[in-house]
Structures are given as structure tokens and as C-alpha cells.
């Protein structure tokens, strides 16, 4: 089995889309093996998005991720589950995301695009360690 980090971002929680979004992962036969509603603090958001440090959108991104509670989860499935989750999410810019994907169906923004999913096996491990350091 393989695990990846998946977050319903503050806009998704605020809009009441947790059930809709998690339902799509469950319908795909992925399992939620950990989940916590959490007000992500600035330090954690900065660690999580370290690779974006210095980008023009970085400050606003950190502000957005810490503006309200997010649902932080670990999703489990077969090999390369991170890739399956990324497929369900759709393109980063929701305006261009394919219909049928979470972003394509439910969002239209670039920053406020509802969800985060790890983009590689290495990112998945790094991000799980950031958000669930005590997990065995």
C-alpha cells in the first residue's frame, strides 16, 4: 500500500465541500487513514510550501492556507496513490482544470483551488512527516 498527503484547503472547508471532495476519493476506492481538522499555523504552512518560497504568490498562499481550518488527511491506496489523487484533483489553475476533476467541477480560482495533494512519492513522505510526525 502507498500513502499520500491530501488537504481540503480552507476555501473547501469554508464552502462546505468536505463531503463532496472526500466522497470522490472514497468512490475511487482510496482510504482515508488519518484526518484532522486543523488551523494550520504559519510555520507549518511555510515548511509545507518551502519550494515556493520567493515566488510572487508565496505570501498570499501562506496567508490563504492559514486563514481558517483545513482538513488534513493521509490517503492510502495502491502504488503511486499520489498520482491517482493528483488525477482526481485536476490542474492547479482551476479555471483550466478538466471537468470531472475536483478543481474542474468545483473551483475557478488559481490560489483558491480547494485541495492539495503531494506531487511525488518523496513529497508524500516529506509532507506526511510535517503534518503527522507522530504517526507510526
Can you give the binding site for ligand CDP, defined by CB under 6 A?
57, 61, 92, 110-111, 113, 116, 119
The question of whether 48 is a catalytic residue gets the answer no
110 binds, among ligand CDP, Mg ion, none (CB under 5 to 8 A by kind): ligand CDP
**Nearest distance, CB of residue 67 and Mg ion, angstroms:** 19
Closest CA to 18 of 106, 92, 101: 106
Please, are residues 15 and 123 in contact by the beta-carbon 8 Å criterion? Answer: no
Question: Using CB under 5 A as the criterion, what x/- string covers residues 98-127 for binding Mg ion?
Answer: ---------------------x--------
What does DSSP say about strands 70-77 and 2-8: parallel, antiparallel, or unpaired?
antiparallel
Q: Rounded to 5 degrees, what are φ and ψ at 131? A: -90, -25
Catalytic residue from among 48, 52, 53, 116: 116
Q: DSSP 3-state assignment of 87? A: helix
57 binds, among Mg ion, ligand CDP, none (CB under 5 to 8 A by kind): ligand CDP
Judged by phi (left if over 0) then psi (alpha if -120 to 50, else beta), residue 87 lies in alpha
| Shorter beta-carbon distance to ligand CDP: residue 61 or 130 | 61
| Shorter beta-carbon distance to ligand CDP: residue 46 or 119 | 119
Alpha carbons 111 and 58: distance in angstroms, whole number: 10
**Which residues are the active-site residues?**
116
Amino acid at each position: 500500500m502507498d500513502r499520500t498527503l491530501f488537504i481540503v484547503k480552507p476555501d473547501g472547508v469554508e464552502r462546505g465541500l468536505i463531503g463532496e471532495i472526500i466522497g470522490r476519493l472514497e468512490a475511487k476506492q482510496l482510504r482515508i487513514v488519518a484526518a484532522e481538522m486543523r488551523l494550520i499555523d504559519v510555520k507549518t504552512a511555510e515548511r509545507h510550501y518551502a519550494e515556493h518560497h520567493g515566488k510572487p504568490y508565496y505570501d498570499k498562499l501562506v496567508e490563504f492556507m492559514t486563514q481558517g481550518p483545513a482538513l488534513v488527511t493521509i490517503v492510502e491506496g495502491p502504488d503511486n496513490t499520489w498520482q491517482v489523487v493528483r488525477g482526481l484533483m485536476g490542474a492547479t489553475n482551476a479555471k483550466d482544470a478538466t471537468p470531472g476533476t475536483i478543481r474542474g467541477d468545483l473551483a475557478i480560482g488559481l490560489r483558491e483551488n480547494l485541495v492539495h495533494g503531494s506531487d511525488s512519492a518523496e513529497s508524500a513522505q516529506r509532507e506526511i512527516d510535517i503534518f503527522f510526525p507522530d504517526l507510526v
